[in-house]
């Protein structure tokens, strides 16, 4: 089941819902080829426009989920279809639930050691039977990567969650997923910190009206520079809508 793929300002996005993404993941897990799963949001789209390396990494990714509400709205404005949000922070727990039911092995890579361990503990409590094959902090040097890749393959990991932040995690997956024998490698940004209780996710009321970005900005004003990409993204979308 190959999803329809569209482009938002030159960045590919797959037309998926959460349920369809989980179904696609189940199909991938039943196969034998590694797949990278990357979240697409306005900030990443704008960065890719000025960063050829990131743009290439996104084009080579196997599954590109519409993570941000801005991407969903842009698709509608441009007449490219009615997308549904597939937040990466919500997809990861759904995949862990699937893994717990079917006996797949997961691995957490990227955050600080205590964050990884706490996130793994929370997931195991939430999804009884989940097999967490291991965790690894994200402060590895390139010289340590061959041994790390060998470890992942030796542990027969099925799902690898990478929490290095963007664009570092996209670069890592682009470079190393072809060497892995995992079925799914998902970039999850700061999701481990949320699971571990280090960062509070936006309350449901904010998420329901698609203002999670605003809550994050108010909670952490240091994000202001990153969030500056949002109005620039909106301008570019409207410009493309008017000028074609």
C-alpha closest to that of 67 among 8, 115, 23: 8
> What percent of the chain has a predicted confidence (pLDDT) above 70?
88
pLDDT of residue 231: 86
**CA distances (Å), origin 31, targets 6, 35, 171, 181, 205:** 25, 10, 24, 11, 38
121: confidence class by pLDDT, cuts 50, 70, 90: very high
Query: Up-side HSE of residue 129: CA atoms within 13 Å toward CB?
Result: 8
Long-range contacts at 176-182 (CB < 8 A, ≥ 24 apart): 176/145, 176/149, 177/34, 177/35, 177/36, 178/34, 179/149, 180/34, 180/149, 180/152, 180/153, 181/34, 181/152, 181/153, 181/156, 181/157, 182/34, 182/107, 182/152, 182/157, 182/158
Give the Cα-Cα-Cα angle 41, 193, 113 (nearest 5 degrees): 125
More confident residue, 212 or 40: 40
Q: Average the pLDDT over 65-85 and give the result.
A: 94
The tens digit of pLDDT for each residue in 163-222 reads 999 999 999 999 999 999 999 999 999 999 999 998 766 566 655 555 565 555 556 555
Domains assigned to the chain: 5-195 (3.40.50)
pLDDT of residue 213: 54
110: confidence class by pLDDT, cuts 50, 70, 90: very high
* pTM for this entry: 0.91
Query: Up-side HSE of residue 193: CA atoms within 13 Å toward CB?
Result: 14
Query: Up-side HSE of residue 140: CA atoms within 13 Å toward CB?
Result: 22
- Residue whose token pair is 């959460």: 18
């Amino acid at each position: 089941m190959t999803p329809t793929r569209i482009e938002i300002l030159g960045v590919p996005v797959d037309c998926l819902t959460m349920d369809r993404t989980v179904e696609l993941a189940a199909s991938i897990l039943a196969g034998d080829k590694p797949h990278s799963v990357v979240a697409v949001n306005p900030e990443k789209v704008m960065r890719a426009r000025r960063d050829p390396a990131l743009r290439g990494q996104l084009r080579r990714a196997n599954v590109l989920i519409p993570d941000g509400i801005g991407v969903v709205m842009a698709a509608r404005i441009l007449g490219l279809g009615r997308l549904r949000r597939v937040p990466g922070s919500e997809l990861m727990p759904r995949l862990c639930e699937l893994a717990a039911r079917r006996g797949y092995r997961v691995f957490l890579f990227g955050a600080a050691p205590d964050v990884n361990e706490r996130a793994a503990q929370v997931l195991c409590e939430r999804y009884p039977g989940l097999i967490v094959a291991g965790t690894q902090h994200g402060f590895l040097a390139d010289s340590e990567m061959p041994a790390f890749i060998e470890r992942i393959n030796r542990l027969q990991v099925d799902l690898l969650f990478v929490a290095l932040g963007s664009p570092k995690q996209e670069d890592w997956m682009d470079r190393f997923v072809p060497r892995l024998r995992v079925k799914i490698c998902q970039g999850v940004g700061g999701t481990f910190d949320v699971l571990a209780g280090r960062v509070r996710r936006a309350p449901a009321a904010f998420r329901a009206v698609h203002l999670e970005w605003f809550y994050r900005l108010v909670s952490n004003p240091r994000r202001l520079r990153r969030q500056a990409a949002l109005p620039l993204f909106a301008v570019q979308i409207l410009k493309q809508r008017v000028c074609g």
